[in-house]
Amino acid sequence: MLIKSLVLKKDYLTTVNEHVTLEEALKVLEDSGYRCVPILDDTGTIFRGNIYKMHIYRHKSQGGDMSLPVTYLLKNATKTIKVNSPFFKVFFNIKDLPYIAVLDQDNKFYGILTHNRLLEMLSTSWNIKNGSYVLTVLSDNSRGNLVKMSKIISKYTNLAGAMTLDAAAGELSGDFVRRTLFTLPAGVTEETMKTVVEKLQAKGYVVSEIEDLQAGYNIMSDENPGVWIEHPEKG
């Protein structure tokens, strides 16, 4: 399970009991350095919600009673996913949250999935550390396109990674609706990369963007697909 492998389990987390006061919760937050932590019941298995440092500070600055239970300022009580939830569901639930609570099959608190862990997972799809170039290729929804594009590339080099996204409808032309990012492995020369691009475009696939991972800049952009960008530092 992909989500399960990314979760920080509850045994390694800082949490607060639902019966602690706002004053006690604030001390936990200040000592830990976290901006929010999960609130759990007495058994430590039921997720009640999150308590945010900023909400306690605001409450305190307005002369609020700090002896109130932490649940008085409880937030995100329904913002949870299951450990076996489909991965796409994470993106619809996590949004602006620093993390999302993860429950097991019995609805007991399992841990949290943080934004950082999610971004780390996505960054591995680009394989930045072991890649040379990322080609963004636009195609339609025709069956077999991914296989065809991969075969073209594999004639000249291996693939270090691939990711498929939806492009905006009507981009470049109404027929292009799919955006696929291919990461070429380290060691691929610019000449080989350009050959791959030419072969892809000869078969009708639009290479809209090319990023040089090692140099850290684009050598072709979405604004001018098919036009090579010259960089002075390359001489």
Secondary structure in 3-state letters for the chain: CHHHHHCEEHHHCCCEECCCEHHHHHHHHHHHCCCEEEEECCCCCCEEEEEEHHHHHHHHHCCCCCCCEHHHHCECCCCEEECCCCCHHHHHHHCCCCEEEEECCCCCEEEEEEHHHHHHHHHHHHCHHHEEEEEEEEECCCCCHHHHHHHHHHCCCCCCEEEEEECCCCCCCCCCCEEEEEEEECCCCHHHHHHHHHHHHHCCCEEEEEEECCCCEEEECCCCCCCCCCCHHHC
Percent of the chain with pLDDT over 90: 63
Could you tell me if 208 and 144 lie in one domain? yes
Could you tell me if 114 and 12 lie in one domain? yes
Given a contact cutoff of 8 angstroms between Cβ atoms, the answer to whether 99 and 112 are in contact is yes
Q: What's the residue count for the chain?
A: 235
**Better pLDDT: 88 or 161:** 161
Could you tell me if 192 and 166 lie in one domain? yes
Note if the pTM is more than 0.95. no
Partnered with residue 165 across adjacent β-strands are 179
Q: What is the pLDDT of residue 226?
A: 64
Could you tell me if 142 and 76 lie in one domain? no
Closest CA relative to residue 19, chosen from 92, 68, 76, 84: 68
Range of the domain at 220: 127-234
Closest CA relative to residue 213, chosen from 153, 131, 137, 158: 131
Identify the domain boundary among 120, 151, 172. 120
pLDDT tens for each residue of 188-223: 999 999 999 999 999 999 999 999 987 777 787 766
Q: Residue 143 belongs to a domain with what CATH number?
A: 3.30.70.260
Could you tell me if 113 and 134 lie in one domain? no
Could you tell me if 6 and 106 lie in one domain? yes
Q: Residue 59 belongs to a domain with what CATH number?
A: 3.10.580.10
Could you tell me if 169 and 196 lie in one domain? yes
Could you tell me if 113 and 186 lie in one domain? no
**Better pLDDT: 151 or 116:** 151
Q: What is the pLDDT of residue 232?
A: 52
**Residues contacting residue 101 through CB under 8 Å, at least 6 positions apart:** 38, 47, 50, 76, 79, 80, 81, 109, 111, 112
How much is the average pLDDT of 41-58?
97
Given a cut of 60, is residue 170 above it in pLDDT? no
Q: What is the pLDDT of residue 11?
A: 95
Identify the domain boundary among 87, 120, 153. 120
Total tally of structural domains belonging to the chain: 2
Could you tell me if 98 and 134 lie in one domain? no
Could you tell me if 7 and 61 lie in one domain? yes
In this structure, what token pair is assigned to residue 93? 């639930």
Identify the domain boundary among 78, 97, 120. 120
Could you tell me if 82 and 175 lie in one domain? no
Could you tell me if 150 and 183 lie in one domain? yes
Q: What is the pLDDT of residue 175?
A: 55
